[in-house]
A and B are shown apart, each in its own frame.
Chain A
Amino acid sequence: MSVERSIKQYEEDRKEAARIAARLLLASATTSPRVGGVGECTVQILDDECHIEDLCQAIEEMAGENEKWDFFKRDAMMLRDADAVLVVTSIRCLTDPADINCNMCGKLTCEYQRQVPKLTREAGIAYTGPLCLFRANNISYAIETIMSTARNMGIDYGVFWSAGAAAMRMKLVPKNTGFCLAVGISITEKSPFRDIPKKYADINEAAMNDRIIKRLWPQFRSIYS
Chain B
Amino acid sequence: MATEMNELLLNGLDRAVELMVVAAHNSFRFGNRNTVQIARLTTEDQKEIAEFCYSLGDMSPLAARDGRFLMELIKEPCALLMFGDKRKSDFNFNCGACGYKTCAELNRVDEMESLTARGPSCQFKAINLNIAASAAASMAWRLGLHCRVFSTLGFASFALNKMEGVDMAVTVSVSVARRDPYFDRHQFWTDEHWDETFNKEFPTFTRGFIGAIEQE
A residues contacting B by CB (< 8 A) are: 32-33, 35-36, 66, 68-69, 100-108, 116, 118-119, 124-131, 133-134, 136-137, 139-141, 143-145, 147-148, 159, 161, 165, 178-179, 181
Contact = CB atoms under 8 A, between A and B. Distances in A.
Contacts of B129: 137, 140
Contacts of B127: 136-137, 139-140, 143, 181
Given A129-B99, A131-B97, A140-B131, 8 more contacts: A68-B93, A107-B112, A119-B99, A119-B101, A140-B127, A140-B128, A141-B130, A141-B134
A103 B112 contact: yes
Contacts of B137: 33
Most A-side CB within 10 Å, residue of B60, B99, B137, B149: B99
B114 interface: yes
A153 to B, nearest CB: 13
B135 A144 contact: yes
Contact of B138 (A137, A139, A145, A178): A145
B114 A108 contact: yes
Interface in B74-126: 87, 92-101, 109, 111-112, 114, 116-121, 123-124, 126
Contacts of A101: 114, 116
Contacts of A131: 97-99, 123
A134 B130 contact: no
Nearest to B120: A106
Given A32-B134, A116-B99, A161 B93 contact: yes
Contacts of A140: 126-131, 133-134
Contacts of B120: 104-107, 130
Contacts of B117: 102-104
Contacts of B119: 103-108, 133
B99 A105 contact: yes
A102 B155 contact: yes
Nearest to A133: B126
7 contacts: A33-B134, A103-B116, A104-B119, A106-B119, A127-B97, A128-B96, A161-B30
Contacts of B109: 106
B123 A129 contact: yes
A182 to B, nearest CB: 12
B123 A127 contact: yes
Given A104-B121, A119-B96, A148-B138, A141 B126 contact: no
Most B-side CB within 10 Å, residue of A104, A107, A108, A119: A104
B174 interface: no
Contacts of A118: 99
Nearest to B94: A68
A133 B123 contact: yes
Contacts of A165: 95
Nearest to A34: B149
Contact of A144 (B27, B99, B101, B155): B27
B87 to A, nearest CB: 8
A137 B130 contact: yes
B154 to A, nearest CB: 10
Interface string B46-67: 0000000000000010100000
A35 B123 CA distance: 16
Contact of B96 (A108, A125, A144): A125
B151 interface: yes
Contact of B98 (A32, A36, A129, A139): A129
Nearest to B114: A103
Most A-side CB within 10 Å, residue of B94, B97, B98, B101: B97
B163 interface: no
Given A105-B120, A108-B114, A147-B28, A130 B131 contact: no
